[in-house]
Structure 1
């Protein structure tokens, strides 16, 4: 039973890491898009 919980915990940690990477990528994408829009507006 302990092995099962260790596997579940491992997948939860991987899911959290991937979600954090996706969130950071989204923030960077929004920032870059705003910079590009500001450049083209000038």
Structure 2
């Protein structure tokens, strides 16, 4: 039981770091999607 209590802060830190990583990846994908949308709109306007 004591081992679990000692490991709890470390596990919480790892979980928090994982959330930040996923959020960053989501932001990157969103930015890429917006860039693709802009380029496709410009291509359609140029036709």
Using structure 1 for the length normalisation, give the TM-score.
0.93
The answer for unaligned runs of 5 or more in structure 2 is none
Q: Cα RMSD between the aligned structures?
A: 0.8
| Structure 1 alignment gaps of length 5 or more | none
- Structure 1 consecutive aligned stretches of length 4 or more whose deviation exceeds 4 Å: none
User: Scaled by the length of structure 2, what TM-score is found?
Assistant: 0.83
Q: 1:2, CA displacement in angstroms? A: 3.2
Please identify the structure whose Cα radius of gyration is greater. Answer: 2
How many correspondences in the alignment? 42
